């Protein structure tokens, strides 16, 4: 029972604020029953990740029990890896998830209350945490906000494919489980001596083979020359031979399975692509 309130002489009507010393309710509203568990889901399409989870529970006996868990997974492609934490009845006071080897956009985290563990109904209860995890971005319950995997910045990095045979069209495919926002692309193209003016283009293809976007250089390349081509998001278009630059949309987003084609119209079988580099902003799809 709370201690009786005493009105001081300076305030005969009593205190405006009172505090309980017994029977205090916990600060959290999430109660885990005997059949509940915490389900942690990790989507790490392109890299390997080691994630650390700390939880604090208030048991019905009034004890605060901490728990520390470490999980390693990835690359997972387009799938999600889930981990279950054994049920402990009580109030969930807090949860904290961290990783020291990740960049934002690489690892997508969700944590639910998982109900009915012994039955066939995989009911998910309270959504506790959802967002990107990185070395600088930790997630916590109850304070972290929920966000969409396509929101905010992703993982900026370069992709440098291996060389290809002469005369071939070069194609780069977006891997499963990720979204790419193309920031820039670069290639070197060596034309052989066969007559014909080459014209370079970069095409985006969807999973059906349709071409929703194509970016053609507005200048041609003569035989027996080497051209240096760049496509830059929001950049200017200019041609100062042997350097060519074309503009890309500021947000050219490519879904899993989409392809980028480097192609030279009127090219010869002896022509050669090299030094192909993409700079992309990658997020979990």
Q: Are residues 104 and 176 in the same domain?
A: no
Q: What is the CATH number of the domain that holds 99?
A: 2.60.60
pLDDT at residue 17, rounded to an integer: 57
Say if CB 62 and CB 114 are below 8 A apart: no
Q: Are residues 168 and 92 in the same domain?
A: no
Say if CB 195 and CB 145 are below 8 A apart: no
* Inside any domain, residue 201: yes
Question: What's the structural domain count of the chain?
Answer: 2
Q: Are residues 175 and 261 in the same domain?
A: yes
pLDDT at residue 13, rounded to an integer: 59
pLDDT at residue 1, rounded to an integer: 46
* Inside any domain, residue 10: no
Q: Which of 115, 141, 167 is the last residue of a domain?
A: 141
* Inside any domain, residue 114: yes
Q: Which of 112, 141, 170 is the last residue of a domain?
A: 141
Q: 77 exposed, middle or buried (CB, 10 Å; 0-12, 13-18, 19+)?
A: middle
Q: Are residues 66 and 122 in the same domain?
A: yes
* Inside any domain, residue 21: no
Say if CB 273 and CB 192 are below 8 A apart: no
Q: Are residues 136 and 38 in the same domain?
A: yes
* Inside any domain, residue 17: no
- Low-confidence stretches of the chain (pLDDT < 50) are 1
* pTM reported for the whole predicted model: 0.81
Tell me the C-alpha to C-alpha distance, in Å, between residue 90 and each of 53, 87, 93, 125, 233: 18, 9, 9, 15, 52
Q: Are residues 226 and 203 in the same domain?
A: yes
Q: Are residues 86 and 183 in the same domain?
A: no
Q: What is d(CA 232, CA 64) in angstroms, rounded to the nearest whole number?
A: 55
* Inside any domain, residue 16: no
Q: Are residues 132 and 164 in the same domain?
A: no
Q: Are residues 159 and 195 in the same domain?
A: yes
* Inside any domain, residue 126: yes
* Inside any domain, residue 12: no
Q: Are residues 99 and 201 in the same domain?
A: no
Q: Are residues 270 and 226 in the same domain?
A: yes
Q: What is d(CA 123, CA 121) in angstroms, rounded to the nearest whole number?
A: 6
pLDDT tens digits along 42-88: 999 999 999 999 999 988 888 889 999 999 998 999 899 999 988 78
Q: What is the CATH number of the domain that holds 250?
A: 2.60.120
Domain that holds residue 221: 155-284
């Amino acid at each position: 029972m709370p201690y009786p309130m005493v009105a001081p002489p300076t305030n005969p009507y009593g205190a405006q604020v009172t505090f309980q010393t017994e029977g205090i309710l916990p600060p959290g509203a999430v109660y885990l029953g005997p059949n509940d568990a915490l389900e942690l889901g990790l989507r790490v399409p392109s890299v390997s990740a080691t994630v650390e989870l700390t939880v604090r529970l208030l048991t019905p006996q009034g004890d605060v029990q901490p728990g520390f868990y470490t999980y390693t997974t990835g690359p997972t492609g387009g799938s999600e890896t889930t981990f279950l934490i054994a049920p402990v009845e009580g109030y969930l006071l807090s949860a904290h998830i961290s990783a020291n080897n990740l960049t934002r956009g690489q690892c997508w985290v969700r944590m639910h209350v998982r109900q009915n563990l012994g039955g066939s109904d995989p009911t998910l209860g309270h959504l506790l945490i959802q967002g990107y995890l990185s070395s600088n971005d930790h997630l916590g319950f109850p304070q972290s906000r929920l966000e969409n995997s396509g929101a905010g910045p992703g993982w900026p990095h370069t992709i440098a494919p291996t060389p290809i045979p002469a005369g071939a069209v070069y194609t780069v495919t977006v891997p499963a489980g990720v979204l790419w926002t193309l920031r820039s692309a670069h290639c070197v193209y060596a034309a052989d001596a066969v007559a014909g003016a080459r014209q370079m283009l970069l095409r985006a293809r969807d999973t059906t083979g349709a071409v929703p976007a194509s970016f053609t250089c507005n200048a041609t390349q003569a035989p027996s020359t080497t051209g240096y081509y760049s496509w830059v998001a929001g950049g200017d278009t200019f041609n100062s031979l042997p350097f060519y630059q074309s503009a890309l949309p500021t947000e050219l987003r490519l879904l899993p399975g989409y392809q980028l084609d480097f192609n030279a119209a009127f090219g010869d079988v002896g022509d050669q692509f090299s030094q192909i580099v993409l700079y992309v902003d990658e997020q979990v799809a």
